[in-house]
Structure 1
Amino acid sequence: MDNPLNSDVLARLSEHPEGISEYELLKSLAEHPFLVQIDVGGDLGLFRRHFALMNCLYGLRQQLAEDGWGLGISAMHIQLQPSLGQGEGQGLTLSDPLASYYLDWQEFDNTGAEEVEALLTGFWRRYDALEHQSQALEDLGLDENADWRMIRRQYRSLAAQHHPDKGGNCQDFIRIRRAFEQLARLRGKGA
């Protein structure tokens, strides 16, 4: 399906050679008939507008690559760019899992309110974990370069030192355990 946003998005990108954020681009297209048509309100409506725009951008990136242009795509910065080499954009698009996702309209059709809720819940859990990562590392006396092996070793050492059964402070032990669990969730490890 040819995305109905293509010409309007290209026009907006041409008006902003320095680039534009996804938010600003969507805001400038808020009254576009296609976006109005697919918007069902709430989080699902937001997902649908986002998906339609990303479908447009990744499709345009493929088309523009054939003409020697690149399209940088991120939520904070979308920008037309001269391509650095022959076929560069095409290879990038083919190996990009986000492009594969957004270019598949079945993903749009198969995503309902429950799936959007699950995506948002997962996002906020990861965000919360990232937000607290630096504090958790500090609680364990580690810096941000610590790998999982270092985290686990430091936790075991501190847990043994602060465990209430070994004369340690209960609050310190709880703080250390929470820090370890936070880092385990963030890194996909079982605590």
Structure 2
Amino acid sequence: MDDKRKTALMAILWEILQEHPQGIREFDLYQILADREIPPFAKRKLGDPKQLFEVHFLLFHLLHLLRRQQVEQGVADLEIHCLKIVITPLATATSSEVLPQPASKVDAYYLDDSHLENVTREMVEEMLDSFWKRFDRYDKRDEALAELGLPGHATQETIKRRYRKLAMENHPDRGGDAERFRRVAEAADVLLNM
């Protein structure tokens, strides 16, 4: 997509965001663009993982460009998250100069449109598979913490120490309970590979 088209889409996004001062969810923003039949958001099949990724990436690419533009012009900042996209005031120094914000890895990712150009269906499916595996582990987190007798704020080092202690106590070769040993090992695997 050429710079002229991006600029036009950024202007549309800015207008929509101004109409939603309390913020707007990514899906709702997409829906407004689709309802207004704004290409390339119109007539997309979000049930197709590759098209879903393309819509998401393009929307976030434009939002990050818009954020950079607005900050550089000293107008405003944007909070960009899939559950809330909102215009926010600029952080200012006591001298009223805008404080420069270092680009995060997320900013860098979405500002580089080669991520959209080079993505394949297989890559998207791999990303989704990885997400669901991490989500499944997160879903089992509380149960795993309880199995190890740890609080929710336990660090990786604390988890490792507790696992080693319980593994030694319950190892079948040391006369321990094989079933408890298995549960402890599974809990540690969940917590240490999130």
* TM-score band, normalised by shorter chain: 0.7 to 0.9
- Unaligned runs of 5+ residues in structure 1 are 187-191
> 1:116 and 2:136 equivalent?
no
CA distance, structure 2, for counterparts of residue 148 and residue 142 of structure 1: 11
> 1:75 and 2:82 equivalent?
yes
CA distance, structure 1, for counterparts of residue 67 and residue 107 of structure 2: 9
CA distance, structure 2, for counterparts of residue 121 and residue 87 of structure 1: 41
CA distance, structure 2, for counterparts of residue 37 and residue 24 of structure 1: 15
Which residue matches 2:98? Answer: 87
CA distance, structure 2, for counterparts of residue 148 and residue 72 of structure 1: 30
**Which amino acid in 2 is paired with 1:81?**
T
Aligned equivalent of 2:38, options 32, 35, 47: 32
CA distance, structure 1, for counterparts of residue 78 and residue 14 of structure 2: 10
Count matched residues: 183
Runs of 4+ more than 6 Å apart: 37-41
CA distance, structure 2, for counterparts of residue 96 and residue 35 of structure 1: 26
CA distance, structure 1, for counterparts of residue 158 and residue 28 of structure 2: 42
Which residue matches 1:22? Answer: 26
CA distance, structure 1, for counterparts of residue 81 and residue 184 of structure 2: 36
Structural mapping, 1:98-109, within 5 Å: 98-109=106-117
Shift of 1:109: 0.4
Paired residues of 1:5 and 1:53 also in contact (CA < 8 A): no
> 1:162 and 2:170 equivalent?
yes
Q: CA offsets, 1:39-75, max 9 Å, x none?
A: 6961010001011111110111111111321111111
Structural mapping, 1:41-60, within 5 Å: 42-60=48-66
> 1:147 and 2:155 equivalent?
yes
- Of all paired residues, the percent bearing the same amino acid is 34
Paired residues of 2:159 and 2:192 also in contact (CA < 8 A): no
> 1:173 and 2:181 equivalent?
yes
Paired residues of 1:5 and 1:34 also in contact (CA < 8 A): no
Paired residues of 2:74 and 2:98 also in contact (CA < 8 A): no
Which residue matches 2:104? Answer: 96
CA distance, structure 2, for counterparts of residue 37 and residue 52 of structure 1: 15
Shift of 1:152: 1.7
Q: CA offsets, 1:127-163, max 9 Å, x none?
A: 1122212211110001122222221221122122222
